[in-house]
Chain A
Amino acid sequence: MLNVIDDTVNPVEPFLRTDRMPHIWCPGCGIGTTVNSFARALIDSNVDLQTLALVSGIGCTGRVAGYVKLDSFHTTHGRAIPFATGLKLANPKLNVVVYSGDGDLSAIGGNHLIHAARRNIDLKVICVNNLIYAMTGGQTAPTTPGHATTSTNPYGTFEPAFNLPHLVEAAGAVYVARWTTFHVRQLARSISEAFQKKGFSFIEVISPCPTLYQRRNKMGDGLDTMKYYKEKSKVKNGAPTNEVGLTLNGEVAVGKFVDRDRPDYQSMMRAQYVESLGDRYIEEPEMECVCE
């Protein structure tokens, strides 16, 4: 028998709770791929891991918080963004990433998504969009493209879907990009860029759910989906976001759609208080009153 000594270490391993492996994601699922790109972005952008916190909601992508070796919070369904808002406001030194799915962020958490974008809270939101509620068995999501078959629309969906880049741009996000799980390097680069932005950044990652979405819609397995992403995605940096909506089996516009600057929530808060209160304003949250 051949003895192969494998002393190579996966470069993303230091970012993972390896004691929690194997993870719960299905074969062919894209969420793990996005985590890999996220870890590579952390390496590339030299983000201080000690002050990096990750917040997830509920669902398949919601489990990311459990697998990353960071201060990580697996919150309630839809509420990752408001939790992250409190974390960031209480300790502005933290770099706060929200990592969750399309159903969590845009359906049950949709109100929080638009308001955090409006306030321009300094959060990096990574939205893994598998076009479906996967954890619960493949029900229709607000992102499910028309005519797709789901467990709750067995004869095909007929409600219009949210175009998430368009939604968050309209609400005020300063950085909006979309990639697929085929675009691992571009995704890592976008995440790195988002770390350089101050304000509400939103990165959508189109990701396969071979178990529930691809299978029901006869789109093959994980590999077939990679081929689809490769063939049907088109880089359209700066494209008007009202033109990047997704259709069943149609083109997937990817790229960086929005990159603009406006003051984030805490800068605006500070400026307002300084203007109104002058010297009476105490800027830093005072936490010495909490611990002995």
Chain B
Amino acid sequence: MKADPRGVLTGTHFIDGDHACCEGALAAGARFAAGYPITPSTEVVERFASRVPTVGGTFIQMEDELAASITLQGAVWGGAKAFTVTSGPGFSLMMEHIGYAAMTETPCVFVDVQRGGPSTGLPTLPAQADMMQARWGSHGDYEIIALCPNSPQECFDLTIKAFNLAEEFRVPVMFMMDEVVGHMTEKVVIPSADQIEVVPRKHTRKSIEEYLPYGTNGDMVPEMAHAGEGYKFHVTGLTHDERGYPNMTPQTQDKLVKRLQNKVRAAADRVCLFEEDRLDGADVVVVSYGITSRVAQRAIDLARDRGLKVGKLRLITAWPFADKKIADLASSVKAFIVPELNLGQMVREVERAAGGKAKTVAVPHAGGGVHNPDEILRAIVEATRC
């Protein structure tokens, strides 16, 4: 369906990534946010708090991130599209409820504007060190989707995408920004509402008698109902059957948890987004994401000036990971160069997907700034020599 025009601030703007993310959420139909202040993410909800009373919706500042991350889920079951916004320390506190959203299949978006860690770390200088936490941070087996914008424009566009994916798969979607992308001001073009495609909630059309809250129709994503509609359904974080009733058996666990994983895994090729450039005939491919992809671009340009055959693969979805793409490339390239603002996270995925067919070179950076393009260039040059 098309976006609700009330939430869409059509026009050309000069805004930062945090503000663009907020506009993306409003355009996607988010009418509820719960937050707790933490730099460098707070601007998202500050803008939301200012905008939402004139659009029809609610912002509430909760007492902590534990509360914010579950309050938004109450709002989802009350019929809203909802999200929260945080940075590393708050993201750590939200892990419990990312698990709850995964288990109860509550569509929602968690925005993490990453800063250096661990713990309080670097308030507030950039990092990309929450990438594995986004995937594995809550206990148990589950699947999420994570997106990594690299510009304010993408903070707008991909926030809409994040809400759409959350609704389509009924999963929590992690929106993995970083401090630089969040605070960088650039041109952001917001189209008119009729040009914005919004995925509606997968709301059941079944009668109260027929409705099975966690029953599926082959596509592995159950239909949802909202509180107050008469369905009298039950939602629990316990292992549950198709009725939503707790059921503590290995059989129910196996069926439920596998479905929670497979509903995303089966669609991984379709969900997976990346930007590629000159991969054909490349000797070396630079794999990057977020702000690092823009620094890497400089290194790639310098390498090409020297006549080196360097391709670019920019991850737009971090999770599900671009396994297939990396595996395909691994048989034709010498090496993958993976710069990231952490000491080696997504590089492990590249190495795994490459399966030993191509060399994988990490270009780590502990965060607090971005790479010097020369560091990446050096890694490229070295890799083309072997």
Residue numbers of A with Cβ under 8 A of B are 17, 20, 49-51, 53, 55, 65-66, 69-76, 78-79, 82-91, 93-94, 111-112, 115, 269, 273, 277, 280-292
A-B contact pairs, 20 of them (CB 8 A): A50-B230, A53-B227, A71-B233, A75-B70, A75-B100, A76-B70, A79-B70, A82-B70, A85-B67, A86-B75, A87-B75, A89-B60, A91-B79, A94-B228, A282-B55, A286-B4, A286-B6, A290-B79, A291-B200, A291-B201
Alpha-carbon separation in the docked complex, A65 to B238 (Å):
12
Asked if B100 contacts A76 (CB within 8 A), the reply is yes
Asked if A70 contacts B232 (CB within 8 A), the reply is yes
A292 with B56, Cβ < 8 A, contacts A75-B237, A90-B74, A111-B67 known = no
Asked if B235 contacts A74 (CB within 8 A), the reply is yes
> Which residues from chain B contact A73 at a C-beta distance below 8 Å?
74, 77, 227, 234-236
Alpha-carbon separation in the docked complex, A283 to B34 (Å):
18
Alpha-carbon separation in the docked complex, A50 to B225 (Å):
13
Q: Chain B: which residue is nearest A55 at the CB level? A: B74
Cβ-defined partner of A88 (8 Å) among B4, B78, B200 = B78
Q: Lowest 10 A-B CB distances belong to which pairs?
A: A86-B74, A90-B78, A286-B56, A289-B29, A289-B4, A90-B75, A74-B236, A86-B75, A282-B56, A87-B74
**Is B370 positioned at the interface, with any CB of A under 8 Å from its CB?**
no
Asked if A89 contacts B228 (CB within 8 A), the reply is no
Asked if B54 contacts A66 (CB within 8 A), the reply is no
**Closest CB in chain A relative to B363 CB, distance in Å:** 39
Cβ-defined partner of B78 (8 Å) among A17, A86, A283 = A86
A277 with B53, Cβ < 8 A, contacts A88-B78, A290-B200 known = yes
**Closest CB in chain A relative to B226 CB, distance in Å:** 7
**Closest CB in chain B relative to A31 CB, distance in Å:** 16
CB proximity to A under 8 Å, residues B65-89: 66-68, 70-82
Cβ-defined partner of A285 (8 Å) among B57, B76, B231 = B57
Alpha-carbon separation in the docked complex, A168 to B75 (Å):
24
User: In the complex, how many residues of chain B place their beta carbon closer than 8 angstroms to a beta carbon of chain A?
Assistant: 57
Most A C-beta atoms less than 10 A away, residue of B80, B200, B238: B80
Asked if A285 contacts B58 (CB within 8 A), the reply is yes
Cβ-defined partner of B62 (8 Å) among A71, A82, A94 = A82
**Closest CB in chain B relative to A91 CB, distance in Å:** 4
Cβ-defined partner of A90 (8 Å) among B6, B54, B58, B198 = B58
Cβ-defined partner of B34 (8 Å) among A17, A49, A86, A282 = A86
**Closest CB in chain A relative to B210 CB, distance in Å:** 16
> Which residues from chain B contact A89 at a C-beta distance below 8 Å?
32, 58, 60, 71, 74-75, 78
> Which residues from chain B contact A286 at a C-beta distance below 8 Å?
4, 6, 31, 55-57
**Is B211 positioned at the interface, with any CB of A under 8 Å from its CB?**
no
Residue numbers of B with Cβ under 8 A of A are 1, 3-4, 6-7, 29, 31-32, 34, 53-58, 60, 62-64, 66-68, 70-82, 96-97, 100, 198, 200-201, 203, 226-238, 245-246
Asked if A94 contacts B78 (CB within 8 A), the reply is yes
Alpha-carbon separation in the docked complex, A90 to B33 (Å):
10
> Which residues from chain B contact A281 at a C-beta distance below 8 Å?
53-54
**Closest CB in chain B relative to A16 CB, distance in Å:** 11
Alpha-carbon separation in the docked complex, A111 to B66 (Å):
10
**Closest CB in chain B relative to A291 CB, distance in Å:** 5
Cβ-defined partner of B228 (8 Å) among A79, A91, A277 = A91
Asked if B232 contacts A71 (CB within 8 A), the reply is yes
Asked if A290 contacts B53 (CB within 8 A), the reply is no
Q: Chain A: which residue is nearest B71 at the CB level? A: A86
Alpha-carbon separation in the docked complex, A94 to B34 (Å):
19
Alpha-carbon separation in the docked complex, A273 to B52 (Å):
11
Asked if B97 contacts A79 (CB within 8 A), the reply is yes
Q: Chain A: which residue is nearest B230 at the CB level? A: A50
Asked if B74 contacts A289 (CB within 8 A), the reply is no
Asked if B67 contacts A79 (CB within 8 A), the reply is yes
**Closest CB in chain A relative to B280 CB, distance in Å:** 42
A282 with B53, Cβ < 8 A, contacts A89-B78, A287-B80, A289-B3 known = yes
Asked if B53 contacts A273 (CB within 8 A), the reply is yes
Alpha-carbon separation in the docked complex, A283 to B55 (Å):
9
Asked if B228 contacts A50 (CB within 8 A), the reply is yes
> Which residues from chain A contact B71 at a C-beta distance below 8 Å?
82-83, 85-86, 89
Asked if A284 contacts B228 (CB within 8 A), the reply is no
Cβ-defined partner of B226 (8 Å) among A88, A91, A282 = A91
A280 with B54, Cβ < 8 A, contacts A86-B73, A86-B82, A286-B6 known = yes
Asked if B74 contacts A85 (CB within 8 A), the reply is yes
Asked if A90 contacts B53 (CB within 8 A), the reply is no
Most A C-beta atoms less than 10 A away, residue of B1, B75, B78, B235: B78
> Which residues from chain B contact A289 at a C-beta distance below 8 Å?
3-4, 6-7, 29, 31, 81, 198
**Closest CB in chain A relative to B85 CB, distance in Å:** 15
Q: Chain A: which residue is nearest B3 at the CB level? A: A289
A83 with B56, Cβ < 8 A, contacts A287-B31, A289-B29 known = no
**Closest CB in chain A relative to B24 CB, distance in Å:** 14
